[in-house]
Amino acid sequence: MNKKLITIIAVIAAMAIAIPSFALVRQAQKMPLLISDDEPSGGCNNVVISNIPAHPTLIGLPLECPSGELNNIIFSWTTNEPSDTVVKYGISPENLANIVSSPEKVTSHSITVYNWSGFSISYALNSSSVCASVQTGVMNDSWYVVPRIPNCIDTDSFTYPTINADINGTVKIRGDQTLYPDSCQDTIILKEAYCQNSCADRPTFVNITCASGCLDGRCI
């Protein structure tokens, strides 16, 4: 078997052992519920928020290639009285500059923040009935994803993009038996094969001028 192919297979196997599966890691910090100072009028009951999940639901996580950071975040809770649905949210507890809301009076609440960029969010939940309201304290949720085995592997480097003119490396795409080695085009030009990112479905090539010459697929 080709020595480079054996090396790449060994690298993939080692990474599979080190990262057995995709893991979503969540971190949350919740604050006590805060009830408004306004007393309900006309014999109404206070609005009480309950059944808040430990984490809002994340849709569109970068679990699969192509990776990305835009997520849809679903917030849900229940109330004892029919009330509207409001989420104030932002990039920090001090900056809840955004609002998403629904005026419908319900007791089971669910609302989505679309295309949130980043891996953390601060938010507060609010529900108001016809005569009372309640808002939670600010809550924080953050997440990150343990990367899976890359789609594009380069024996040159595991830092993307994987350009490294000092090593005669080979690019391997998952599911593709073709090997894409670095090669000298002449005595000074190196044709470097590399991965733009871990999700690349094909190698990228660039010609590099080697100051001291090119030999055996690398700059000397």
Give the span between the Cα atoms of 48 and 33, in whole angstroms.
9
On the 0-12 / 13-18 / 19+ scale of CB atoms within 10 A, 74 is: middle
Which residues, in sequence order, are CB contacts of 2 under 8 Å at separation 6+? 179
Q: Of 87, 118, 146, which residue sits at a domain end?
A: 146
- Residue 175: what pLDDT? 83
State which of 121, 146, 171 marks the end of a domain: 146
Are 113 and 162 in a shared domain? no
164 and 209 share a domain?
yes
Query: Cβ-count burial of 155 within 10 angstroms (0-12 exposed, 13-18 middle, 19+ buried)?
Result: buried
Q: What is the pLDDT of residue 43?
A: 66
Whether 121 and 165 map to the same domain: the answer is no
Q: Within a 10 A sphere around the Cβ of 35, how many other Cβ atoms?
A: 14
Verify that 137 and 193 share a domain, yes or no.
no
Amino acid residing at 160: Y
- Domain extent, residue 191, equals 3-16+150-219
Same domain for 142 and 171, yes or no, is no
Return the structure tokens found at 104.
């419908």
Q: In the beta sheet, which residues pair with residue 215?
A: 218
pLDDT score for 19: 40
Rounded average pLDDT per 10-residue block, the chain, 220 residues: 54 46 58 56 80 84 50 91 95 92 96 85 92 90 67 87 94 90 96 89 94 95
Same domain, residue pair 156 and 127: no
The count of other CB atoms within 10 Å of the CB of residue 154 is: 28
* Residues forming beta bridges with residue 76, ordered by sequence position: 110
Query: Bridge partners of 92?
Result: 95
Angle (CA) 49-28-90 rounded to 5° is: 75
Helix (H, G, I), strand (E, B) or coil at 45: coil
Query: In this predicted structure, what is the pLDDT of residue 181?
Result: 96
pTM of the model as a whole: 0.54
- 44 in the same domain as 11: no
- Are residues 164 and 56 located together in one domain of the fold? no
Cα–Cα distance measured from residue 130 to residue 43, given in angstroms and rounded to the nearest whole number: 11
Please tell me whether residues 165 and 187 are part of one structural domain: yes
Number of domains in the chain: 2
Which of 146, 162, 187 is a domain's end point? 146
